[in-house]
Amino acid sequence: MHKAPHLQDLKTAGLTPFSIHHDQALFRVNSGVPLLTALSHVSDLLHLSKMLAEDAAMERKTDRYAWASHYLQEMSKAVIDDVVKVIAVSNNHQQAER
């Protein structure tokens, strides 16, 4: 019987693109990054994005903050989507083995 991987053993799949321009991805999440490391990094990206969005909301002529926040959110979403794909595949394999 195949032993199911633990969360700490799972790594990003590298399947999720972001920064799509003219139907072509400019960037992609890298494969092989431990999921816990990826999620920790996403937490930092989202924290910075939140701070930039707050600054953009409070100050005049701060569209550069809003755009920076937008791109950080786009990167964060791609990493989270990639992590979710890996967890879903892992769960499907676990259920199939039962």
The predicted-structure confidence for 11-43, as pLDDT tens digits, reads as follows: 999 989 999 989 999 999 999 999 999 999 999
pLDDT at 3: 64
Cβ contacts of residue 5 below 8 Å, gap of 6+? Answer: 90
> Residue 34: what are its φ and ψ, rounded to 5°?
-55, 135
Tell the residue number behind the tokens 């960037």, with chain if given.
27
Whose tokens are 């791609």? That residue is 78
Residues contacting residue 46 through CB under 8 Å, at least 6 positions apart: 72, 73, 76
Query: How confident is the model at residue 2, as a pLDDT?
Result: 56
Q: What is the pTM of this model?
A: 0.84
pLDDT value for 38: 97
Residues written for the chain:
98
pLDDT of 63: 85
Residues 6+ apart with CB under 8 A from 4: 90, 93, 94, 97
Task: Please write the tens of the pLDDT for every residue from 35-71.
Answer: 999 999 999 999 999 999 999 888 888 888 899 999 9
| For residue 85, pLDDT beyond 60 | yes
